[in-house]
Copies of this chain bind each other. A is one copy, B any other.
């Protein structure tokens, strides 16, 4: 069964501004420490893909997420994460598909297949990294684009001093 976001798109993102954030990408095992993907100031992007999402949407998402003026500066003007410059941490979050159904339940239907979601996430991160690599400002500031692991239990720590939470659908 195909399903789209209410606005007819094929991906849903929740953006949260962060001062720093990290997601566990490998648990502690056999005496080795856990591994985290960690970023400093910038944004965390929770993302899920709906059935029918294609690579085209990941390009649109990357362009929009990196260049939309999401951040309000103290001066009052707004800048993009590329202009800030800020880091980006993508966290796959299929629970974003959830919608309430009768009997106080939540239904999680209409997501793309996990292997394809992982592929789309990887495309998204790759395209964002290309945009970062094309920015002198970002290179100077050593800006990072990191990601959590698709389909894995991901421990998260988020710190923000200037909170902003935004829903964007594509």
Q: Which residues of A contact B (CB under 8 A)?
A: 6-7, 12, 14, 46, 64, 67-70, 78, 80, 91, 93, 95-96, 98, 100, 104-106, 153-168
Contact = CB atoms under 8 A, between A and B. Distances in A.
A67 B165 contact: no
A160 B165 contact: no
A102 to B, nearest CB: 11
Nearest to A148: B163
Contacts of A69: 104-106
Contacts of A7: 6
Contacts of A70: 106
Copies in the complex: 2
A159 B160 contact: no
Contacts of A78: 105-106
A102 B67 CA distance: 12
20 contacts: A6-B6, A14-B165, A68-B104, A68-B105, A78-B105, A78-B106, A80-B104, A93-B163, A93-B164, A95-B165, A95-B166, A98-B167, A100-B168, A106-B166, A153-B162, A153-B163, A155-B160, A157-B157, A158-B159, A167-B167
Nearest to A157: B159
A94 to B, nearest CB: 9
A106 to B, nearest CB: 6
A96 B156 contact: no
Given A70-B106, A159-B156, A165 B100 contact: no
